[in-house]
Structure 1
Amino acid sequence: MPGWEGCKTMNSREKGKRGERELASELREHGYGDSRRGQQYCGSDGSADVVGLPGIHIECKRVERLQLEDAMSQSIADARDGELPVVMHRRNHSAWLVTMRLDDWVGIYREWEAGRSGEV
């Protein structure tokens, strides 16, 4: 069927855009009001899929079968200096998940722990 591949690409692009808008909306509901889709120009400029969390480079994936290593590699490659690369992803009928490197997660957890030490 001629042109079918192009249609599939268009549908996956549209689904990706919907996923980015959905994730941005979720982040706004969590109090990150500046969250929105990043500037997407065919992915060529390395901008994050969703912006609004300073210091975090978000690669957003809204797919049923995620190539997680590829997505994480893309986030790492596109993250700017000082940004933590993450992949935020979900499948249909599932919650959003966040994948990041263990060293980055430990750094965040240590900061959280240090903040708790001052609590009574």
Structure 2
Amino acid sequence: MRKIERVGFVIKPHAPDIEKILAELIRYFEKKGMECLLEEKAAQKLKKGEGIPREELPGKVELMVVLGGDGTLLSIAHLTAQKDVPVLGVNMGSLGFLTEVPLDEACLTLDAFLEGEEK
């Protein structure tokens, strides 16, 4: 697996507390020295410029974090598969069959993933 230097974020823009959760996860990665790239809707939510078109994001990162439900995850899955980029799908409250990481376990799951990536 490639060393993770850049993390991309894709969101479901109307998910509850999305701005707060997105900002917390960005801080998490930045504390680890990683650059965070936002797709257009995520950048708009945080008022951080225009963002990167969703179709281009997987070619610029080594990990994708999807905050939303199964539909949000599926909208990015085929793009990441073409680039061999791992995806962490964080369930934002609705029933999720594919976004299996509950919000309250996101940082623990990321710690375990990143620890394994470093070995």
TM-score range, shorter chain: 0.3 to 0.5
Q: TM-score, normalised by structure 2?
A: 0.42
Q: Relative contact order: is structure 1 or structure 2 higher (C-alpha 8 Å, sep ≥ 6)? A: 2
Q: TM-score, normalised by structure 1?
A: 0.42
Greater gyration radius: 1
